[in-house]
């Protein structure tokens, strides 16, 4: 039986791990390579690096981080943040990323998703959707949550599936950093709309939130940062908890 995945996410800035509250107020907290190794040794099903300020700054440091991590961690490694072109994707894959997540570029130029999924295979193309509730729908934000595009998130999710995305990483901008739980409505709506796996992200504050993301949000995988990063829970504890709630996990 296929297991639900737990994916710790490390937000990286200038080669160092940070985790923001609503994408601002960053706190430095460690070396990404070491952190990733701790997670993979602890049973993380995948590791995710998000180069959070990459849209605006020199991002060459991430290549070095990815290269070092991929020589130490033998679970899938997803890297996102500031990925603009097919060439960026190629570089990250060559450094050892297994999947690349595309956010702003997928909105501005969906051709990147179409071309890259044909060139490298859908299995390595993750489209990251940052969505914020607006009335009775959700709208897509880009540039690390700074720009509102007004694009409907559910329709966009479907479009990305059709464009060749292998997975969708759905982040609720309202919840990110708040620790009050995933936006379950958003997750379940997108998950029911597409036939590719959905990774839930944004808002995890406790282990029940992970359970809800899978049971109520119908996510195939749950991504979280701060609950793992600041030592509140280990990945192992999270898996044991999910297992106790009847969710299939790899233990």
**Active-site amino acid positions:** 11, 130
DSSP result, 199-237: EEES---SHHHHHHHHHTT--SEEEESHHHHTSSS-HHH
Q: Does 74 bind other proteins (CB under 8 A)?
A: yes
Stretch touching other proteins by CB under 8 A, among 20-28, 152-160, 179-187, 191-199: 191-199
Separation between Cα atoms, residue 35 and residue 65, nearest integer Å: 11
Tokens of 11: 């937000």
From 13-21, 53-61, 74-82, 102-110, span contacting other proteins (CB under 8 A): 74-82
- Residue 167 sits in the site that holds other proteins (CB under 8 A): yes
- Assess 9 for contact with other proteins (CB under 8 A): no
Binding of other proteins at residue 27 (CB under 8 A)? Answer: no
Looking at residues 126 to 155 of the shown chain, list those that interact with other proteins (rule: CB under 8 A). Answer: none
Decide: is 196 part of the binding site for other proteins (CB under 8 A): yes
Structure tokens at 62: 């991430």
| Residue 164 CA, distance from chain mean position | 17
Tokens of 56: 């605006």
Footprint of other proteins (CB under 8 A): 1-5, 40, 45, 70-71, 74-77, 93-98, 118-124, 166-167, 195-197, 220-221, 250
């Amino acid at each position: 039986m296929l297991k639900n995945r737990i994916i710790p996410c490390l937000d990286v800035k200038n080669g160092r791990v940070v985790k923001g509250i609503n994408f601002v107020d960053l706190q430095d907290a460690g070396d990404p390579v070491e952190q990733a190794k701790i997670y993979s040794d602890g049973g993380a099903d995948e590791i995710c690096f998000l180069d959070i300020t990459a849209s605006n700054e020199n991002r060459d440091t991430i290549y070095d981080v990815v290269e070092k991590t991929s020589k130490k961690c033998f679970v899938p490694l997803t890297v996102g943040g500031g990925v603009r072109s097919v060439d960026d994707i190629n570089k990250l894959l060559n450094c050892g990323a297994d999947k690349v997540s595309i956010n702003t570029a997928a909105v501005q130029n969906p051709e990147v998703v179409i071309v890259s999924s044909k060139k490298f295979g859908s299995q390595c193309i993750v489209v990251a959707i940052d969505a914020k509730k607006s009335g009775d729908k959700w709208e897509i934000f880009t540039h690390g949550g700074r720009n509102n595009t007004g694009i409907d998130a559910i329709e966009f999710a479907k479009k990305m599936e059709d464009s060749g995305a292998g997975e969708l990483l759905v982040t609720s901008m309202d919840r990110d950093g708040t620790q009050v739980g995933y936006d379950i409505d958003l997750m379940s709506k997108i998950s029911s709309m597409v036939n590719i796996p959905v990774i839930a992200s944004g808002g995890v504050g406790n282990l029940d939130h992970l359970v809800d993301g899978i049971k109520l949000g119908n996510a195939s995988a749950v991504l979280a940062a701060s609950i793992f990063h600041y030592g509140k829970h280990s990945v192992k504890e999270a898996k044991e908890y999910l297992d106790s709630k009847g969710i299939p996990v790899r233990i």
